[in-house]
């Protein structure tokens, strides 16, 4: 399933609360009180934060599942101007974070920075601690989604209604991380909440 824009629109955050939630990233550090929580580097296109509430809805979902989400645009340790210091800080945080998620909107897929971050996530988190969260534009068919090649090489976050598989195993409704398919077309599903646990 490729999510459509609006799926993750924040259900409870108002503008002032969104700002407060995002500002929590300013205190993000390897030496803070969040060491007991799973940390997630959320790679995203900054314009997605400005134009849609998709990123805030994703942040809300991940935090509801117990994660601490890092957003580089709200990091007060980032240089004022994009520079080598910016890249060094991002590299440091990606290494430190327990998980890496790319909010793969069309803008993020076209972003040099997001692709660079994905490469770092690949280096430090592949294969079990990285996932793509695909989000297509409204009205697009799945085949029109610009990030289909990413879905062939990285695990992805999907949503499933309750089902029983061919082996008789029951899966409850919810968000899952779907592994890559093996040569026989088999894949594994892990509840997103479990994936986010240490």
Summarised one tens digit per residue, pLDDT across range 60-119 is 999 999 999 998 877 888 888 888 999 999 999 999 999 999 999 999 999 999 999 999
B/e letters for 4-34, b = 16+ CB within 10 Å, e = fewer, are bbeebebeebeeeebeebbebbeebeeeeeb
Q: Which of 19-33, 46-60, 184-198 has the lowest mean pLDDT?
A: 19-33
Residue 14: CATH number of its domain: 3.40.50.10140
Q: Which domain holds residue 71?
A: 3-154
CA-based nearest residue to 67, from 151, 133, 4, 150: 133
Residue among 93, 68, 67, 98 nearest 78 (CA): 93
- Residue 144 included in any domain: yes
Give me the pLDDT at residue 15, please: 47
**Does 32 map to a domain?**
yes
CB distance 13 to 54 below 8 Å:
no
Report helix, strand and coil shares of the chain as percent, to nearest 5.
Answer: 40, 20, 40
- Structural domain tally of the chain? 1
Count of Cβ atoms closer than 10 Å to residue 195 Cβ = 21
Contact 85, 79 (CB under 8 A): yes
11 domain residue, yes or no: yes
pLDDT at 12: 60
pLDDT (0 to 100) of residue 11 = 63
pLDDT digit string (tens) for 3-23?
A: 998 898 876 654 444 455 455
Cis? peptide before 110, omega within 30° of 0? no
Residue 86 exposed, middle or buried by CB count within 10 Å (0-12, 13-18, 19+): middle
The reply to whether 195 falls in a domain is no
Q: 175 - beta bridge partners?
A: 159
Q: What is the pLDDT of residue 10?
A: 72
Q: Is residue 137 part of a domain?
A: yes
| In-domain check, residue 133 | yes
Q: Does 169 reside within a domain?
A: no
Over residues 32-71, the pLDDT tens digits come to 545 678 999 999 987 666 555 778 889 999 999 999 999 8
Contacts of 197 (CB under 8 A, 6+ apart): 38, 66
Is the residue at 164 inside a domain?
Answer: no
pLDDT of residue 89: 94
């Amino acid at each position: 399933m490729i999510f459509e824009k609006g799926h993750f629109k924040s259900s409870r955050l108002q503008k002032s609360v969104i700002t407060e939630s995002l500002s929590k990233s300013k205190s993000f550090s390897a030496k803070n009180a969040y060491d007991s929580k799973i940390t997630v580097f959320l790679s995203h296109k900054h314009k997605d934060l400005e134009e849609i509430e998709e990123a805030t809805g994703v942040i809300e979902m991940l935090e509801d599942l117990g994660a601490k989400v890092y957003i580089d645009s709200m990091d007060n340790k980032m240089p004022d101007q994009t520079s080598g210091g910016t890249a060094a800080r991002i590299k440091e945080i990606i290494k430190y974070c327990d998980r890496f998620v790319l909010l793969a909107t069309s803008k993020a897929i076209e972003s040099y920075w997001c692709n660079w971050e994905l490469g770092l996530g690949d280096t430090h988190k592949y294969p079990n601690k990285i996932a793509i969260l695909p989000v297509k534009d409204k009205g697009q068919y799945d085949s029109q989604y610009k990030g289909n090649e990413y879905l062939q090489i990285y695990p992805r976050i999907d949503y499933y209604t309750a089902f029983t598989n061919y082996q008789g195993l029951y899966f409850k409704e919810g968000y899952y991380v779907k592994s890559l398919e093996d040569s026989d077309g088999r894949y594994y599903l892990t509840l997103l909440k479990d994936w986010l646990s240490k």
